[in-house]
Amino acid sequence: MTNSTIFQLGGDLDVRRIGYGAMRLANAPHERSGMTAPIWTAPTDRAESVALLRRAVELGVNFFDTSDAYALGANEELLAEALAPHRDDVVIATKAGVLRPSPAEWIPLGHPAYLRQQAELSLRRLGTDRIDLFHLHRIDPEYPLADQIGALKQLRDEGKIRHIGLSEVTVDEIDEAARIAPIASVQNMYNLTERGHDRVIDHTAARGIAFVPYFPVSGGEHAPLTEVAAELGATTAQAALAWLLHRAPNVIPIPGTSSPAHLAENVAALELELTEEQFKHLAG
CB neighbour list of residue 119: distance below 8 Å, 6 or more residues apart? 96, 131, 134, 152, 155, 160, 161
CB neighbour list of residue 225: distance below 8 Å, 6 or more residues apart? 192, 236, 239, 240, 282
Q: Is residue 231 helix, strand or coil?
A: helix
Phi, psi (rounded to 5 degrees) for 109 = -145, 110
Closest Cα to residue 216, out of 248, 253, 172?
253
Query: Known catalytic residue: 70?
Result: yes
Q: How many other C-beta atoms are found inside a 10 Å radius of the C-beta of residue 22?
A: 29
b/e burial code for range 238-276 (CB count within 10 A of at least 16 → b): bbbbbbbbbbbbbbbbbbbbbeeebbebbbbbbebebee
Phi-psi region for residue 49, left (φ > 0), alpha (ψ -120 to 50) or beta?
A: alpha
Q: List, in sequence order, the alpha helices (H) in the chain.
A: 46-58, 74-83, 112-126, 145-157, 171-178, 198-206, 223-232, 236-247, 260-268, 276-283
Phi, psi (rounded to 5 degrees) for 12 = -145, 0
Find the catalytic residue in 70, 143, 190, 214.
Answer: 70
Q: Which residues are catalytic?
A: 70
